[in-house]
Each structure stands twice: as structure tokens, then as C-alpha cells.
Amino acid sequence: VFEKAGVNLSVVYGTMPQEALQAATERGVDRAAGMAPGERVPFFACGLSSVMHPKNPFAPTMHFNYRYFETDGGVWWFGGGTDITPSYVDEDDMKHFHGTYKKICDKHDPEYYKEFKAWADRYFVIQHRNETRGMGGIFFDDQNDKEPDEHFAFSKECVNSVIKSYGPLVEKHKDDEYTPAQKEWQLMRRGRYVEFNLVYDRGTVFGLKTGGRIESILMSLPETARWEYNHQPEPGTPEADFIDAVQNPRDWV
């Protein structure tokens, strides 16, 4: 069913350069305020993440990451999210996936889904392509405006709902018939996945800057990917519809 799938559990502590701390948090948030230039930041971080790349082009890739950071200076925050990256648009799939997380968000805060869905659409942008990596989901960072137990309860429910949101999509599509051309399209979209993760992904950049275990850091990359020079889908095709969806993010629920 899966070409490549993995789960990472990270518990790390020590000191890190201030630029690594900036890479790990929302852009523009200064977590090293008051520290001397060049001074290393003592920190603790833990996170659970997973990426699943199915073989079938009609079964979407799924990624989640939920994490907690704190520094010795008393600063703490939660971050994370779950997102979906298909190669073809299936509106029923997207309604199910987004609908699952909207229910969770609405249970914890009526503003969460609207805010975190828009955050995912902003975060997962491949800027040099003017495309999103996939069809979004929820994403949040720097969450520390409530009691820690409240933020943890939200993250915990999101993690525990991955199978509910994603499992039916894999079961639905894992045995779909597909052509060699559709497989090539999937591999080209996997190439976009690689581009985002190596250039823009916050966790990847943080891992590389802090000297983490390289096999774990790059676990999210697909086993195979493809690049074709200036490939443009034919107008009116499912592939062209997909490009429109990643250039103009849609509301699914």
C-alpha cells in the first residue's frame, strides 16, 4: 500500500544557535529577545511526526507533526498540524479530511479551523513555484495564549484523529487502477514535495541547523520523485484542475 512511510518521535535538549531557534518558530517571533548576539539558547523540544507516501497515485500523501518547545528563559509554545497532499482532486476526500479536523477545532475553539486552515495554506507554499504543496489541512505555531494543558489536549486529539481523517482515503483508493502517465504525474508532484521540504519546511531546516540525525530529518522525503522540464498539463484535464487547486487554495468545508 505504501511506497514509504515513517514515524519520528523526537526528544531533544541542549543549546542551539539563535538562528536555529528562529527557524523553529513562526517568522517574525523573537524567541531570543534579551540574549547577547551569538549566545546559544538552552532548550528542550519534543515532537511526534509521520509521513505516509502511498503507491497508488489516487491515494494521497499525509503528514502530521505535533511538537512542544521550551527554553531555559521560561518561554514555551506548542505547534503542529496535519495536512494532505494528493496528486488528483477528489472533493469527497477533501471534505472528509478537512471536515474531521474542523470538528476537532470547533470543539476546542470556534476560531481555530478558520485560522489554522488559512495558516496551512500560507505555510505550505512552494514560493518559487507559486503553488501550495498539497490541499492543506491545519497548521499552527507559537501557541501559548492558554493553559499548557489546554493546548496539549488539542494537539492530542488531533494526533488521535489521524486514522479517522486519513485511513478511509487510503482504503478507498489503494486498489484504484491507474495508467503509467498518472503514475508519472504522481512522481512529478512528489518532486514538488521534495522542493518544499528541503527549502521551506521548518522542521527540516531546524534539524539541519542543530545537527540532528540526517536519516530522521529526511525521512519525510518520498522514495521516488520526478522532474520534467517545463511540464504543463493540458487544459481541461484532471491534472490542470489540480494545478488550479494548488495555485488557488479552496475551501472544502
Provide the pLDDT for residue 206. Answer: 78
Provide the pLDDT for residue 210. Answer: 76
Provide the grid cell at 195: 522542493
In the chain, pLDDT over 70 holds for what percent of residues?
A: 94
The per-residue pLDDT for range 78-137, each reduced to its tens digit, is 999 999 999 999 999 999 999 999 999 999 999 999 999 999 999 999 999 999 999 999
Distance CA 148, CA 76 (A): 9
Pick from 101, 78, 98, 104: nearest CA to 249? 98
Greatest alpha-carbon span in the chain = 59
**Cβ atoms of 20 and 206 closer than 8 Å:** yes
pLDDT at 32 over 70: no
Sign of CA dihedral 95, 100, 101, 104: positive
Distance CA 209, CA 41 (A): 13
Phi, psi of 137 (to 5 degrees): 155, -125
Other residues' Cβ atoms within 10 Å of the Cβ of residue 229: 4
Catalytic, 128? Answer: no
Provide the pLDDT for residue 72. Answer: 83
Provide the grid cell at 106: 470547533
Instruction: Please state, rounded to an integer, the average pLDDT across all residues of the chain.
Output: 92
pLDDT at 11 over 80: yes
> Which one is predicted more confidently, 210 or 181?
181
**Cβ atoms of 7 and 50 closer than 8 Å:** yes
Question: What single-letter amino acid sits at 91?
Answer: E
Mean pLDDT along residues 46-62: 97
Mean pLDDT along residues 161-167: 98
The per-residue pLDDT for range 56-76, each reduced to its tens digit, is 999 999 999 999 999 887 889
| Annotated active-site residue in 63, 98, 151, 173 | 63
Pick from 98, 120, 129: nearest CA to 193? 129
Provide the pLDDT for residue 29. Answer: 57
Other residues' Cβ atoms within 10 Å of the Cβ of residue 201: 20
pLDDT at 249 over 90: yes
pLDDT at 27 over 60: no
The per-residue pLDDT for range 214-225, each reduced to its tens digit, is 998 899 999 999
**Cβ atoms of 62 and 162 closer than 8 Å:** yes
Mean pLDDT along residues 191-206: 92
Q: Residue 205: pLDDT band by 50, 70, 90 thresholds? A: confident
Pick from 50, 54, 130, 109: nearest CA to 82? 50
> Which one is predicted more confidently, 212 or 239?
239
The per-residue pLDDT for range 75-92, each reduced to its tens digit, is 899 999 999 999 999 999
Check: pTM over 0.85? Answer yes or no: yes
**Cβ atoms of 69 and 43 closer than 8 Å:** yes
pLDDT at 49 over 80: yes
